[in-house]
C-alpha cells in the first residue's frame, strides 16, 4: 500500500474533517500551561506562575479519568460539549482574575478549574478511532486490527503536532499582542473546535454502567501501561526542566521552547512514517525496543552545554517517543474493555501529566541547586527505570478477555504483569 493510500484509508473512516477538528480542539490543552506561565510571570511573578501552572496540570490529571468515564457512560456528545463550554468559561474567569490582581489563592483555584474541565480531546479521539475500526460482521479481525493500529498511530501524530504548535502560538501571541493573549486564544479555540468535535457524527453513544457484573478496568495489564505513561511523562518533565535551566544558564530563556520543540518535530515525523508503514513487530516488543532506544538517546543530554547540542539531543529523543506512545495506546486498545475505553485512554493521559508535573518539580529543584546536568541526570534515571519496568511487566501473556474476541489468535500482542 502506498503512503498516500495508507493515509487515505485512515482518514476515509471518519472523513477528513475529524483530524482537522481534533487537532484544533487539542491546541488549548497545549497552549494553556505555557500561556499561564507567560501571563503570570509578566503580570505577577514567576512563583505565582509556577503555582497556577501546577494547579492547572493537577486539575487536568485528576479530572481526566472522570470525564472519560462520563463520556463512556453518557456518550461523547453531551460530555465533551459541556466540558468545552465550561473550559472556555473557566479560562475567561482565570484571565479576569489575573488582570484584576485577585489573590493568588483565587487565581490558583481558577487554574485548577481550567485543568479539571479540559475536555480530554486526545484520549477521547483515540477512543473514537477504536470504535470506528471495530470489525464489522464478517470482517477479518486481522484487517480491522491493522487499521486500528494505523489509526492510533495517525492520532498520536496529530497529538505531537498539536503540542508542537500550541506553545509556539502561545509565545507568539503573548509577545506580539498581550500577556493574556495566549489564554484568550485558547478559550476561543476551545469554545469553537471543542463544540465541533462534540457534535461530529463520529461521537459514540454512551454505554450505561452495568448494575451487575461490572466490567473491571484496573488490572495488571493496564497498570503496567499506566506505569509506562507515568515514566514517559517523567522523562519529558525532567528534560523540559533541564532545557529551561540550560537556557537560563546561557542567558536566553526564550530559546527553551524552540529547543524543546525539536522533539515534537522528530516524533511527529516518526509517527507519520509508522502510520504509512507500521512497524512489523509485535506491540510489546515494539514498546520494549522503543523505550530501550529512548534510554540510549537520553544519554547525550548529560554532555550538552550549548543550544545546538541540546537541540540535537532533544531531536534525537523524539525518534523513539512516537513508537513508544503508539505501542502504549495500541496495547491499551487491546487490554481495556470497549465500553470503558475512554476512561482507559484518559487514565493513561493522566499518567503522562502526573509524570511531567512530578519530574518537572524535582528536576527544577535539582537544576536550581546543582545546574542543568543534574536535571538531565534525573531524565536518564527515569529512562533507565522505564526500561526495567518494560522488561519486567510488558511482555506477551494472557490478554484481557474483554478484548479477546477482537484479536486474532495468530499474533496476540499482549501485556501482562507478574
Q: Give me the pLDDT at residue 190, please.
A: 95
Instruction: Specify the pLDDT at position 405.
Output: 41
CA–centroid distance for 336 within its chain? 18
CA distance 193 to 180: 20
- What are the residue ranges of helices labelled H in 250-340? 255-276, 283-298, 307-335
3-state secondary structure 93-154: HHHHHHHCCCCHHHHHHHHHHHHHCCCCHHHHHHHHHHHHCCCCCCCCHHHHHHHHHHHHHH
User: What is the number of other CB atoms lying within 10 angstroms of the CB of residue 267?
Assistant: 27
Q: Which pairs count as long-range contacts for 41-47, CB under 8 Å and 24+ apart, including other chains?
A: 42/174, 42/179, 43/98, 43/99, 43/179, 43/180, 44/98, 44/104
CA neighbor of 203 nearest in space, from 388, 385, 21:
21
263 within 8 A of 164, measured Cβ to Cβ? no
Distance CA 130, CA 348 (A): 15
Predicted pLDDT at 135: 65
Instruction: Give the Å distances, CA to CA, from 136 to 133, 149, 283, 315.
Output: 8, 16, 23, 40
| pTM of the full structure | 0.80
b/e code 179-189 from CB counts within 10 Å (16+ = b): bbbbbbbbbeb
Yes or no: say if 268 and 325 are a contact pair by the CB < 8 Å rule.
no
Residues in the chain: 418
Cα–Cα dist 339/216, whole Å: 10
DSSP state of 300: G
Calpha distance 191→382 (Å, rounded): 37
8-state DSSP, 281: S
Question: pLDDT tens-digit profile of 122-139?
Answer: 889 988 888 888 765 556
What domains are defined for the chain?
Answer: 1-208 (1.20.1250.20), 216-418 (1.20.1250.20)
Report DSSP state, residue 44.
T
Please report how the helices 121-132 and 76-99 are oriented relative to each other, as an axis angle in degrees rounded to 10: 170
| Distance from the first to the final alpha carbon of the chain | 39
Tell me which residues of the chain have a pLDDT lower than 70: 1-7, 46, 135-143, 209-216, 253-254, 397-418
Q: CA 59 to CA 344: how far, in whole Å?
A: 18
Q: Which residues of 354-379 are buried (b: 16+ CB within 10 A; e: fewer)?
A: bbbbbbbebbbebbeeeebbbbbbbb
Amino acid at each position: 500500500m502506498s503512503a498516500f493510500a495508507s493515509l487515505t484509508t485512515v482518514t476515509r473512516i471518519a472523513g477528513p474533517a475529524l483530524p482537522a477538528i481534533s487537532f484544533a480542539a487539542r491546541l488549548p490543552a497545549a497552549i494553556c500551561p505555557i500561556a499561564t506561565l507567560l501571563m503570570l510571570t509578566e503580570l505577577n511573578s514567576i512563583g505565582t506562575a509556577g503555582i497556577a501552572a501546577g494547579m492547572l496540570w493537577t486539575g487536568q490529571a485528576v479530572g481526566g479519568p472522570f470525564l472519560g468515564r462520563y463520556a463512556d457512560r453518557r456518550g461523547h456528545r453531551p460530555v465533551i460539549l459541556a466540558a468545552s463550554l465550561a473550559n472556555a468559561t473557566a479560562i475567561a474567569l482565570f484571565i479576569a482574575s489575573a488582570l484584576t490582581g485577585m489573590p493568588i489563592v483565587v487565581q490558583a483555584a481558577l487554574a485548577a478549574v481550567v485543568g479539571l474541565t479540559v475536555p480530554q480531546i486526545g484520549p477521547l479521539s483515540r477512543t473514537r478511532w477504536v470504535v470506528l475500526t471495530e470489525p464489522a460482521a464478517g470482517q477479518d479481525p486481522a484487517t480491522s486490527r491493522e487499521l486500528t493500529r494505523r489509526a492510533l498511530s495517525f492520532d498520536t501524530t496529530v497529538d505531537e503536532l498539536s503540542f508542537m504548535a500550541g506553545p509556539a502560538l502561545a509565545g507568539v501571541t503573548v509577545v506580539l499582542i498581550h500577556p493574556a493573549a495566549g489564554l484568550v486564544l485558547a478559550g476561543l479555540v476551545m469554545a469553537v473546535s471543542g463544540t465541533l468535535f462534540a457534535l461530529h457524527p463520529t461521537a459514540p453513544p454512551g454505554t450505561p454502567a452495568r448494575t451487575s457484573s461490572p466490567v473491571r478496568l484496573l488490572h495488571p495489564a493496564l497498570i503496567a501501561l499506566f506505569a509506562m505513561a507515568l515514566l514517559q511523562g517523567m522523562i519529558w518533565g525532567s528534560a523540559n526542566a533541564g532545557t529551561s535551566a540550560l537556557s537560563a544558564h546561557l542567558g536566553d530563556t526564550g530559546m527553551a521552547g524552540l529547543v524543546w520543540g525539536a522533539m515534537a518535530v522528530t516524533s511527529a515525523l516518526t509517527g507519520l512514517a509508522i502510520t504509512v508503514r507500521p512497524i512489523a513487530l509485535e506491540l510489546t516488543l515494539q514498546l520494549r525496543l522503543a523505550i530501550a532506544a529512548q534510554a540510549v538517546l537520553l544519554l547525550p543530554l548529560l554532555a550538552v552545554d550549548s543550544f545546538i547540542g541540546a537541540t540535537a539531543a532533544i531531536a534525537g529523543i523524539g525518534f523513539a517517543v512516537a513508537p513508544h506512545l503508539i505501542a502504549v495506546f495500541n496495547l491499551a486498545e487491546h487490554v481495556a474493555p470497549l465500553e470503558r475505553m475512554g476512561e482507559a485512554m484518559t487514565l493513561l493521559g493522566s499518567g503522562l501529566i502526573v509524570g511531567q508535573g512530578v519530574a518537572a518539580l524535582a528536576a527544577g529543584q535539582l537544576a536550581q541547586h546543582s545546574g542543568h546536568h543534574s536535571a538531565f541526570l534525573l531524565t536518564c534515571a527515569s529512562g533507565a527505570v522505564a526500561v526495567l519496568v518494560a522488561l519486567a511487566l510488558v511482555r506477551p501473556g494472557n490478554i484481557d478477555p474483554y478484548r479477546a474476541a477482537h484479536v486474532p489468535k495468530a499474533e496476540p500482542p499482549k501485556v501482562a504483569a507478574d
